[in-house]
Amino acid sequence: MGLSAHAVPSVRSGALTQSYTWASPIPDACVSGTGSKRVPCVLGVDEAGRGPVLGPLVYGVAFCPLDRQEDLRDVGFADSKALTPERRDELLQALLHHDQIGWAVRVMAPQDISAGMLRRHPNNLNEQSCDATVMLIQGVLNAGVDITHIYVDTVGDPKAYAAKLKRSFPRYQHIEWTVARKADATYPVVGAASIAAKVTRDYCIERWLYAERHFGPHSLGKRKHMDENSEETEDPSSVWQTGSGYPGDPKTVQYLKGTLDPVFGWAGIVRFSWATAKSMLEEPVRSSASTPTASMLGTPCPPSTRAYTVRWMDEAPPPRAQATLQGFFTKKAPPARGLSTSATASNEAPRSQPLPPVWQEDRNMLQEKRPEMWHRWALTSCSAADLF
């Protein structure tokens, strides 16, 4: 991509570890007038990066006065996937400098996508996509823009998705919804949203900053470390070339296999919840001279699979799970040296007095709730950066 670091304001500096929303200033042409004389506007919604196993999923919206839709067509907004990167860069500049177009993006971090999909009660990708769409539209409405028509590139069945979106905006019954497949190639305002989403995602991927500091610059290929003061290094190895990010890309598969740690998994760029990633963790391997014995972090590799089996505490039989918890929190004092067993026993501390009834009730309740508390803590969202 030919854009400079400051030419894509929707991309934040630093490592992407959590989702965020960015919005352009609201054009004066979209908020002029008051009451019934407000300017009616049209809005389009599209996304980029729904299928890849790497990087964020980005949703974009674009909006303009209703009578200026054809201006967008004259500019050349269309399906971003059908355009060259150079042409997409030009159209993003048109978005930035057009005085009657506003736009916004929701950058959904891979860590948040995976955390939602891997919950015990999963929040699947369709639900997360709908939430991002509703959030962006609501932000435009809250800014005072009178949206009268919304075009959306569908997620799933168009009729069902349109009905679901309508239910999310009960106060705006006047809005007319058009939910269709390939809407970015049909409606120019959706094409503008597609450009905003696609360029933002491409910029995030191409200039990805790793938050995991144990991936030192000496072991990485064409990438920058989170510390912007460190020099960027070049490595002839291609293991750090992520490819397109789609599961069928050989470079992407090589990246996943080469950067996998058998305990910590991958860096934050990978969506752990994708079937490709989950199956690779359990993929059987045959030991040979070329099979690595340790990951780049120094973790010993298991002999049979690519990663060690992970289980929730409540998946083990109750006595074993309880013993594991008690053993983890109970510190046993070592026996005193030079004393016999009988001498040690004679010096034991006296037994504690029974707890008062009220305290005993609280203690019993805590013991009953302990598995549930641990289960909730285990589901708390975190990134690989929190572990390294």
- Binding positions for a divalent metal cation are 46-47, 153
Residue 270: phi and psi, rounded to 5, are -95, 140
Helix (H, G, I), strand (E, B) or coil at 211: coil
Q: List the binding residues.
A: 46-47, 153
Nearest CA-CA partner of 77 in 57, 63, 59, 58: 63
DSSP 333: P
8 A C-beta contact, residue 209 and residue 225: yes
8 A C-beta contact, residue 200 and residue 59: no
CA distance 270 to 55: 6
8 A C-beta contact, residue 156 and residue 179: no
Nearest CA-CA partner of 205 in 9, 383, 53: 53
CA distance 190 to 150: 9
DSSP 44: E
